Structures are given as structure tokens and as C-alpha cells.
Amino acid sequence: MSTLMISDLHLDPKRPEVTAAFLQFLHRQTRDADALYILGDLFEAWIGDDNDDDLADQVASALAARPIPKFFMHGNRDFLLGADYAARCGMQLLNDPCVIDLYGERVLLMHGDLLCTDDAAYQAFRTQVRDPQWQHGFLAQPLAARRAFAAQARAASAAHQSGLANMESITDVTPATVDAYLHQYGVTQLIHGHTHRPAVHTERGHRRIVLGDWYDQGSLLEIPADGEWTLQTLPIRHGVSS
């Protein structure tokens, strides 16, 4: 028995091969799992729980069919995923950050964008769109308007990152911020995604595990009840539809 953690799938109708890989993962790897944690950016974009596309229905049905505890933490792309859709998936929403007990060990979970404090422009945007008043106004708009905004936001994000002089360092975590969160929550272990830089870092007296994205391959952290934690890759058969 083990606990599984994934993030940054960025599911999108334009990439059916990733959806197919995710559905296969749910069918195979979660069969004997104790729990599944999705640490944000399950979707490339989420414009509200009234989203009526086929992908949202397909993912909800597949997740609901897995009879294990499932937990979801918002990412920077799907921060509007709400209680209604979570219930359809059989998922429990988690705060970001939060501390959980993993087989007797206290571990801090985050999506990871809060750790990238050198990117001041992104942090300002994050503060804006996480404001309940902003979200209420956005969700009151027609679906077409929300879809257009999501497309513009993705384009603006790509342009912003391409224009950064030190993109590699600015879009990665800030070490001092990592240390501050670990100190604040009194833990020595942190698991997060967001940066798309899968790795296990043992540094400054703590361990930080970064989950990878699901573009060229999938990424999975498997945590056995009694055994070594392993950061694994999963195949994605490009050109295959779901």
C-alpha cells in the first residue's frame, strides 16, 4: 500500500494523449493505493464548475470511479476549481499550503507557486485572481468570455516568461522562501509541483521533492507505507487519443 502524488498534468482537449495517460494511470497505479493527491494544475485552465466541455466530464467520471481517498490542491491554472466539481470527482479540497501525516511523518504540501517569490509580477497577479471578489465577478461572466480571458492569460504568461532576463532562476523557487515555509510549519519535508523541474533536493537540513509535469512524460511520487519514496516517470504515447 502506498500514497501517490501527482501535479501539473495540464489536461487540455488539444493534448488527448496526456488525458489517455492519466486515465491509464488511474486504472493501473491507483488500484491498490491508500490515497491520491493532486497538487494543482490538473487542467490547463479552469473557468468554473459550470464548464461544459467533454474533458471535464471524462475526468470527473474517471476519478469518481476510483474508490480511494482523493485530494486536490489548487494550482495556478485551476484555482477556480470549486466544491461542486470536486464533489463530482470524489475529491477533498486542500488548502495551499497544508501539512499532512504520511505514515507517521509530518509533510508540507504546496502547489509551489507561492515559493517563486522572485517573480514579483506573477505574485501580484496571483494575489489579484485569488481575491474572492475578483473570482465572484469573473464567474458571473458568460462561459465564452471566461474562455477568452483564460486564453489571453495563458498568452500573457508565456510572453512574461519569455521576457524575463533570468527566467530559469526567477521562475524557480526562492531558497529563502522555502526555508521560511518549512520553519513556519515546523517540518523538514516539502512536496510541491509548479516549476516543472522534477527532483529530490536534500539541502539545509530538509528534503524537498519536486513533482514533474505531464508533457513529454508523466511524473509520479510513490510513498510506500514502509519503504523508500520514489519519484517515477510514466510513459505518454504521443499521437494516442483518450
Q: What is the pLDDT of residues 198-235, one digit of tens each?
A: 999 998 889 999 999 999 999 999 999 998 999 999 99
Radius of gyration of the chain (CA): 17
Find the Cα–Cα–Cα–Cα dihedral 73, 74, 77, 83, rounded to 10°: 110
Model confidence pLDDT, tens digit, residues 101-119: 999 999 999 999 999 999 9
- Residue 7 CA to residue 212 CA, distance in Å, equals 7
**Size (the chain), residues:** 242
- Residue 107 CA to residue 18 CA, distance in Å, equals 28
The pLDDT assigned to 164 comes to 56
CB within 8 A of 197, min separation 6: which ones?
172, 210, 212
CB within 8 A of 97, min separation 6: which ones?
108, 109, 110, 114, 181, 185
Residue 154 pLDDT grade (very low, low, confident, very high; cuts 50, 70, 90): confident
- Number of neighbouring beta carbons within 10 Å of residue 219: 22
- Number of neighbouring beta carbons within 10 Å of residue 112: 31
The helix (H) or strand (E) run that includes residue 233 is strand 230-234
Model confidence pLDDT, tens digit, residues 123-153: 999 999 999 999 999 999 999 999 998 888 8
Model confidence pLDDT, tens digit, residues 159-174: 766 655 454 555 799 9
